[in-house]
Amino acid sequence: MKYLEKLIKAVSTEGYDFATGSRIMPESDAKRPFKREFASRGYNSMVRLLLHSKLYDHQCGFKAFRRGPLFELLDEIENQHWFWDTELLVRAQYRGYRVLEFPVYWRHGGSSKVNFAKDIVGMGSEVFRLWWELFFPGLFSGKGKMFLTAFLALMILALAATFLGASEVLENIKQVSLGSLALASLVYCASWPLRGVRFQQILKRLGNHYGLGFLTGSIFISQSANVILPARIGDLSRMYILKKSKDLAFTTSFSSLTVERVFDIIAITFIAVLASSGVATRFELASWMESLIRFSGIAVLLFFVAIFTLSFRESRSKKEVRKETSANFSGEPLSKIKEFASTFIRQMSVIAVRPGAFLAVVASSLLIWGMDILTCFLVLKAFPTAGVDLSSAFTISLVFLAVALGNIAKTFPVTPGAIGTYEVALTAVFGLGGIRPELGFTVAVLDHIIKNSITLLGGGLALSELGFRWREVLSTNTDTLKGM
């Protein structure tokens, strides 16, 4: 507190708009636990690098503001939690306000509350969000995101087509059978009610009963958002719709979506394993293909080990946890976290651990992905010059393997809507099976165009039917969900 006079004078008489103490400047005298020091320096370095901040320490709890500049920035600040002061200081510098940072003497009191996994994801996403807003302001709106995604898609696909031979790709497109493409589109359209039925069954087992049309529409919207937004954060859109329309608890929507995603991976991995054995007589899988299959298999295994372990521990310590929580943490954030975790584990166990529910969701997931693969098979069939026997077990296995690996590759958030990664995976697998790379690429592109176009069209119709807007569902975040 000996620096209080310096802090106040900075904004009252020395002409600065914002002032903040710093525990990280070379002249600072600060001692903190290693974990907190390591996390703080890493975080602040990332802010300096990505957000072009000139400050060393953005979260020192020793700040002063001039009222006018502060109130001019408040409406721009979206985060209301740990990222608030970082966003304020970064925006202040971006707007040209004078910001003073000075070293302080600091000794940490109490144990560290740093949670690496949670904080890295939460703060990292906020840094990315602010970077996007500051340096691509016109692209952060709903329509802007669609424009950006379309631009990225065109760039990636144009580069790939140029590399493989644009003239050959165009020649392939001229020979395509429109009837087969139309049939492929119908098959993919038919898979959407199945997605709604699966999600309906998951929610029903969790004690929530909603209409098939509403649920299918919400899936259309969230999947449309996933086409537009990176890292599958479009799933938040479905949670937002369920909360606003049906007042579904955040925990339930989160656990139901987690179940859906996990069983998608289970179905795709199972298909990939079977298909890889079907093509083993002709070629060996590339190392990246084996790695993808192994990665998804290990992820599924770890998930179920975690669920079984946590469910067992939860059932044994339920009474003790409730007693301890009631006695010591009533109304505290830790109590809410424990309650959320307990509810999440219980709801996941209802689907993932019970054999009847497990088999039902696996069966529906296999059917959904089977129709997704059939769509791609019909697109391949639309090319009379494919040069492969489409009725052979090898070709069928090849298509199954290509689509399965393409969708496993989608789990890595490299591009919005997995544009590019999906096409590259399919082209590579088709190439190993004897399909010309330029033809395989053309099939992959048309397959993805059909699926994404139907998804976006259905999402637009569902938005109109359910009374939402693109801007509303595309800007959804976890703070919005918690505040509802």
Give the active site residues. 85
CA–CA gap between residue 321 and residue 323 (Å, rounded): 5
Amino acid letter for position 188: Y
Strand partners, 358: none
Q: What's the CA gap between 456 and 458, in Å, rounded? A: 5
Give the helix/strand (H/E) hosting 310. helix 287-328
- Which residues pair with residue 237 across a beta bridge? none
Residue with tokens 């959904």: 368
Helix or strand or coil: residue 107?
Answer: strand
Do the Cβ atoms of 462 and 217 come closer than 8 Å?
Answer: yes
DSSP lists the bridge partners of residue 263 as none
Cβ–Cβ under 8 Å, residues 60 and 22:
yes
C-alpha to C-alpha distance for 377 and 379, rounded to whole angstroms? 5
Tokens of 53: 């901040």
Q: What is the C-alpha R_g of the chain? A: 26
Lookup: tokens for 268:
């795709």
Q: Is the alpha carbon torsion for 219, 222, 228, 234 positive or negative?
A: negative
Q: Is 194 exposed, middle or buried (0-12, 13-18, 19+ CB in 10 A)?
A: middle
How many other β-carbons are positioned within 10 Å of the β-carbon of residue 303?
17
Residue type, position 360, single letter: A
Give me the residue label for tokens 């890493």. 42
Residue with tokens 């002249």: 27
